[in-house]
Amino acid sequence: MFKRKFYIPDNKIPKKWYNIASDLPEALPAVLHPLTRVPITPEDLSPLFPMEIIKQEVSTERFIDIPEPVLDVYSLSRPSPLIRAYNLEKALDTPAKIYYKYEGVNPAGSHKVNTAVAQAFYNKSEGIKRLTTETGAGQWGSALSFAGALFNLEIDVYMVRVSYNQKPYRRALIESYGGTVTASPSSRTEAGRKILAENPNNSGSLGIAISEAVEMAVQRDDTKYSLGSVLNHVLLHQTIIGNEALIQFDLADDYPDIVIACAGGGSNFGGFAFPFIGEMLRGGKSVKSIAVEPFACPTLTKGVYEYDYGDTAHLTPLMKMYTLGNGFIPSSIHAGGLRYHGMSPIISLLKKLNLIDAVSQKQVDCFEAGIKFARTEGILPAPESTHAIKTAIDEALKCKEEGISRTIAFNLSGHGHFDMSAYSDYLNGNMSNND
């Protein structure tokens, strides 16, 4: 009998996050104030985030302890499984070994809860009662609403209008966990009203929804803002994924040559790949990491590396990152979680230094890969995650062509059970080949 799944014994469960800032060959460029363009101070960020999170944002300590109450919630679903995809390998007739880490087992169905729980905990500890946030496809909004339910925080979610209309069950999930949802752009904020005045049919973007959530957060002392990706502390919290995977590869007596994850703002790529990249930066085994983005929103592969705002109304600080421009509105692809104009500054720096690779994939090809995965391994992946699967299949087929075996690992960031209308579109041939 071959071994398919790798479990971590209780006494080996990781109790720390990994901070890649400690191992970067160059310091990260300063983050600039949106009005003065001088480097921001912790005080500048304090209307938006609790102090403990601001400290993590600028920390260069290598490992950061995960608080006990956060570990306690993690234990509902973590450690997540590392699974060898034997059936997929066989279907591809490849000499490659393919593994995937499955984050769809988490509450709300994706990796996002790993940081949602930590952010809810730190805000609660500093006396905050309410969090505002944006969501694309709704995974982040539902993860934060779940965390809000556990730590007794009100969650106010601005949901990109196209997803609000495409994914009514995600909305219902957010509401089931106790969050409230507003379609963005909305008339509740200055930023939203301005955009609606220009175009009442604006389908929204993450950049616009962020502007609305930030605007609402700064108006009340008991309210702060929470971001589901991009920022250093978010990627830090997600490294629980890669830290577990390192132990699981030890148990499998194997090590990846290639690690792959899709990238919207970069939290699931960073969370999975950073612990492996860290090993490499400290002189350990080398690894090729591939960030996969949609053809319709090719930030790393077609964007420019320059200072840009995180949002459309220019309320957030300026970060040096790969960007398509803060006004960029991608086409309405189903992978709503990947429709962001910018990218994590850490991932951007790694790309600039050629320490990671990036590719883009077309939507139809990704759905085809997702269906192949469902028909071999059984899990129906989130549209976002299909980008990683498509790239893993490409790499496995390259191994076949070259007649060599490589170990390929990808992060299956979530399940697709709330994305059935997207799968219907694909199966009924209603998906454009242009995206």
Ligand X SMILES: *Cc1c(COP(=O)(O)O)cnc(C)c1O
Least distance in angstroms from the C-beta of 104 to ligand X: 8
Nearest of 311, 339, 306, 309 to residue 321 by alpha carbon: 306
Backbone phi and psi for residue 5, each to the nearest 5 degrees, phi listed first = -120, 145
Strand-pairing partners, residue 14, are: none
Spatial CB neighbours of 194, under 8 Å, sequence gap ≥ 6:
313
Q: Select from 337, 342, 345, 370 the one that contacts ligand X (CB under 6 A).
A: 337
Stretch binding ligand X (CB under 6 A), from 250-258, 265-273, 363-371, 395-403: 265-273
Q: Select from 145, 229, 232, 289 the one that contacts ligand X (CB under 6 A).
A: 229
| CA 74 to chain centroid | 17
Q: Is 399 exposed, middle or buried (CB count within 10 Å of its CB: 0-12, 13-18, 19+)? A: buried
Structure tokens at 383: 């549209």
Strand pairing report for 258-262 and 407-412: parallel
Spatial CB neighbours of 9, under 8 Å, sequence gap ≥ 6:
none
Asked whether position 157 contacts ligand X by CB under 6 A, the answer is: no
Asked whether position 392 contacts ligand X by CB under 6 A, the answer is: no
CB 330 within 8 A of CB 298: no
Site for ligand X in 272-331 (CB under 6 A): none
# residues contacting ligand X (CB under 6 A): 20
Stretch binding ligand X (CB under 6 A), from 8-16, 261-269, 305-313, 361-369: 261-269
Asked whether position 141 contacts ligand X by CB under 6 A, the answer is: no
Stretch binding ligand X (CB under 6 A), from 30-38, 259-267, 395-403, 425-433: 259-267
Least distance in angstroms from the C-beta of 117 to ligand X: 15
Stretch binding ligand X (CB under 6 A), from 158-166, 183-191, 197-205, 256-264: 256-264
Q: Select from 263, 290, 346, 369 the one that contacts ligand X (CB under 6 A).
A: 263
Least distance in angstroms from the C-beta of 108 to ligand X: 9
Residues in the chain: 435
Q: What H or E segment, with its residue span, contains residue 376?
A: helix 363-377
Least distance in angstroms from the C-beta of 140 to ligand X: 6
Site for ligand X in 81-140 (CB under 6 A): 110, 112, 139-140
CB 8 within 8 A of CB 184: no
Least distance in angstroms from the C-beta of 410 to ligand X: 12
Asked whether position 391 contacts ligand X by CB under 6 A, the answer is: no
Quote the CA–CA distance of 263 and 342 in Å, as a whole number.
Answer: 10
Q: Select from 142, 184, 211, 267 the one that contacts ligand X (CB under 6 A).
A: 267
CB 204 within 8 A of CB 160: yes
Sites of contact with ligand X (CB under 6 A): 110, 112, 139-140, 229, 262-269, 337-338, 382, 384-385, 413-414
